[in-house]
Amino acid sequence: MERWQNKVAVVTGASSGIGAAIVLDLIENGLQVVGLARRLERVEALCDQLSPEKQGNLTALPCDVSDMQSVNEAFDTIVAKFGGIDILVNNAGCLKQGQLVNMDVKEIQQILQTNVMGIVHCTQRAFISMKERSFPGHVVLINSVAGHGVVAPGGTPDTNIYCPSKFAVTAMTEIYRQEFKGLDTKIKVTSISPGAVDTDIVPENARQLMGENMLKAKDISSGVLYAISTPPHVQIHEMIIKPLGELF
């Protein structure tokens, strides 16, 4: 992790769960971290979990990744304050229960705007910063096992467009890998696909089915640390992390 000391990492969806765990671990490992979220006060509250000397390494900014204007405002602030982005962790995600055949189309659009277009919005800005500075940065996409197979806990699926949105993330990871290479950069890209993680996003019916067979948010954060700590010639393209005994 030496090469990342005092470098700038941007984490989306930083207010809770996996995002919050990633923020804390990156700061503990010497990075300056910008936590982006709609619930700004929850990102700011993460300072209470940091030692006094490291609290200044967290910058909280409001951002709705599904809104391009909101993303541009946040990234303009980051570039003005820090000069650029060195690591981007696309963690923000949206899951709503319902069936594709009859749920509100606006909710389906919100999932796609967050899970797919949110990555596009933020990665474009991070890529521009890395490319302009010829910096060998790292883009991490928090994917899901649902991006590799349709997950239907308890019979009739109620995850609707969530699985297709994560399948898109799997494909986008390969697209980014080829683009980063073709555009003559040394930027790495990593997709990390967790199984069930004990966070607020897990619906109660799925939680009951899985019981104790769930990961902790820190387990995923540890995966992020591993991926970014690899030497320059090593790229972890896809990492699938499952709890022992998971049903799917």
| Spatial separation of the C-alpha atoms in residues 61 and 41, rounded to whole Å | 10
Q: In Å, what is the CA distance from 242 to each residue of 20, 38, 93, 145, 174?
A: 20, 28, 18, 8, 22
Residue type, 118: G
| Spatial separation of the C-alpha atoms in residues 178 and 167, rounded to whole Å | 17
Helix (H, G, I), strand (E, B), or coil: what is residue 131?
Answer: helix
Sign of CA dihedral 73, 223, 243, 42: negative
162 catalytic, yes or no? yes
Annotated catalytic residue within 4, 162, 176, 180: 162
Q: What is the largest CA-CA distance in the chain?
A: 52
CB 190 within 8 A of CB 235: yes
Catalytic residues: 162
